[in-house]
Structure formats: structure tokens, C-alpha cells
Structure 1
């Protein structure tokens, strides 16, 4: 089973719709790099969901250190620190899936052949496993919470869900 390495935005998005727990139902091992922990828990203290993520880190999300610091520093010229550490960890941990939402880190991850999924993909996957009953409602909740999702992705998501529901 792959190790899932998450960036900040999927954690924040899932906490905002009270669905963080689906990660551990979908995958047995969830990790975040130290920079992501710092961003969402330390610097995020007092913000919505920071305490939920902190508790998850005590129980089932493992915080790990990146070994290849020079790689992180190079990646930080084009990505933020959390994204750079997620991608570097993805290169260090062989059977991994990255949880990334933003275009730049996703594009880079593709160039180095890393597997990834975004928050919308997590919701879709959870729905196919029967963990979420109304995926379109969850996507709408994400957007109401200020989570940016492109119109094209939303249209495709709705089309996929509706076609599977009607078949």
C-alpha cells in the first residue's frame, strides 16, 4: 500500500468540510513533512482546523523529516517550502502518492513521474469507496469555505458523478 504524503491545502480543505478522517480510511499511512506541519499547525494556530490537524498528527498522521535538504532548497526557487518538501519526500519514499492541489507543484511532480491526487480526487475516491454519500455536496461545501476549484474541474467532476449515479 502506498504512503500518502500531503501538502497543506488538502488537509485544510478536508478539515473545513469535516472529512479529514477519510484519509485514514482510504490509506493506511499518511505523512506530512515538517514544513507542512509548521504551516498548518504552528503558523496556523488559532485558525480553523489547526487543532484538528494537530490532534491527527498525535494519532495517525506522521510528521517526517526530509533527508535531501539541497533538493528542497532548489525546489524552493519555484515552489513554497511545504510543496518542495512534499515533492522531495515523494522522491525519497518510493511507493508514495502526493496530495497536492496547486498547479505548479503538480506540474513539477508530473515531470519527475510522481503519483498524485488532489482534494477533489480524494473526495471522488472516497465516494467510489462508499465513504461519502453526496460528493457534489462536499465539493460545494469546499467552495463555500473559500477553497478554490476551477470551473472546468467542477464540471468534469459533476459529469463523472452524474454518469456513475445514472448507470
Structure 2
């Protein structure tokens, strides 16, 4: 099991779209930190939406209750959610962040953070022994308006198939 991750809005929405809830996170992480700015983004939507409901129902998420100071470079380069995810990880010496957006992923790596995304979490779950059909998860994500490139879809399917083979 992985230890701690700081997660952004996009992956939270994508995971709910793919799985119907966020329980997959609890299966592979001891602690899932949601910065205050991400919580605000999640709740700024219609609170009756499927992803806002799933988000508010998960009491085990470590939802931060106040904003943090964000380095000017991060604040001027990324949206508040991504910037707060990276800043929280740096402040608390957490090595892994979950960001789906390319610019946020790139800047996280420049700050020596490990980066995963919603499909990376799905593949990690498969490696941990979860019985997941990744093609179905991607289909569900797309049905809910989550964009997944053909290249990413094909790579995720390949990695998932390899993970299943390597499990034995």
C-alpha cells in the first residue's frame, strides 16, 4: 500500500466518473490529502452533481480547512488547485501528487515530486490485486465528459494488461 498522496480536482472528478465513487483511493493510500483550494473547486459546482456528492460523502479524505501560502511561481503558473497540491506536497515532504493536467504534472516533476493521475491510480490498484476492467473505467470516464486521448487510453490498457500478467 502507498502511504500518502495529495490530490487535485481533476483526478477526483475523473475517479468518480470512472468508478462511481472514490473508494479506490482508500484501497491503495493510507492518507489522501485534499488541499483547501481543491475542496473549494469541488464544492463550487452544483452540490447535487455526482462528483460533488461522492466527494462530500467521503469523510476519510483529509480535507484541509484553510488556505496555504503558495510560492509566487506556482501561483502565477498554475490554477489554484494544482498550485496548492504541489505546495502542500513540498511543505509536508509528501513525495507523490495526483494531477491530470499536463502543465501541473510538468511543474510537479520540476519540483522533484512523483506524479500520478487518475489512470495511474487505476493501474496501481490493478497491481495491488483489484479486479478492475480498465476499458470499462475509461468508457465511464468518457461518458461523464472526461477527456482521455487515444494515446493515453492505449498506454493505460497496455500497462493494465501487463500488471495483470505480472500478478500471476
TM over 0.5: yes
Indicate the residue corresponding to 1:115 in structure 2: 114
Aligned length: 163
Give, in angstroms, the shift of residue 48 of structure 1: 2.4
1:12 aligns with 2:13: yes
State the alpha-carbon separation in 1 of the partners of residues 50 and 106 from structure 2: 29
* Residues 31 and 75 of structure 1, relative CA distance in 2, 3 Å threshold: same
- Cα deviation 1:17-55 (Å, max 9, x = unaligned): 314101011011011100100010244423222022012
Q: Kindly indicate whether the alpha-carbon contact (under 8 Å) linking 1:2 and 1:96 is maintained by their aligned counterparts in 2.
A: no
Give, in angstroms, the shift of residue 160 of structure 1: 2.8
Superposition pairs of residues 97-112 of structure 1, within 5 angstroms: 97-112=96-111
Indicate the residue corresponding to 2:26 in structure 1: 24
In structure 2, the gaps of 5 or more residues are none
- Cα deviation 1:129-167 (Å, max 9, x = unaligned): 122331221122112221111221111122233345567
Indicate the residue corresponding to 1:82 in structure 2: 81
Give, in angstroms, the shift of residue 119 of structure 1: 0.4
1:62 aligns with 2:62: yes
Give secondary structure in 2 for the equivalent of 1:82.
Answer: helix
* Residues 114 and 163 of structure 1, relative CA distance in 2, 3 Å threshold: closer
In structure 1, the gaps of 5 or more residues are none
State the alpha-carbon separation in 2 of the partners of residues 3 and 166 from structure 1: 27
When the two chains are superposed, the root-mean-square deviation of aligned CA atoms in Å is: 1.9
State the alpha-carbon separation in 2 of the partners of residues 85 and 103 from structure 1: 16
State the alpha-carbon separation in 1 of the partners of residues 87 and 37 from structure 2: 12
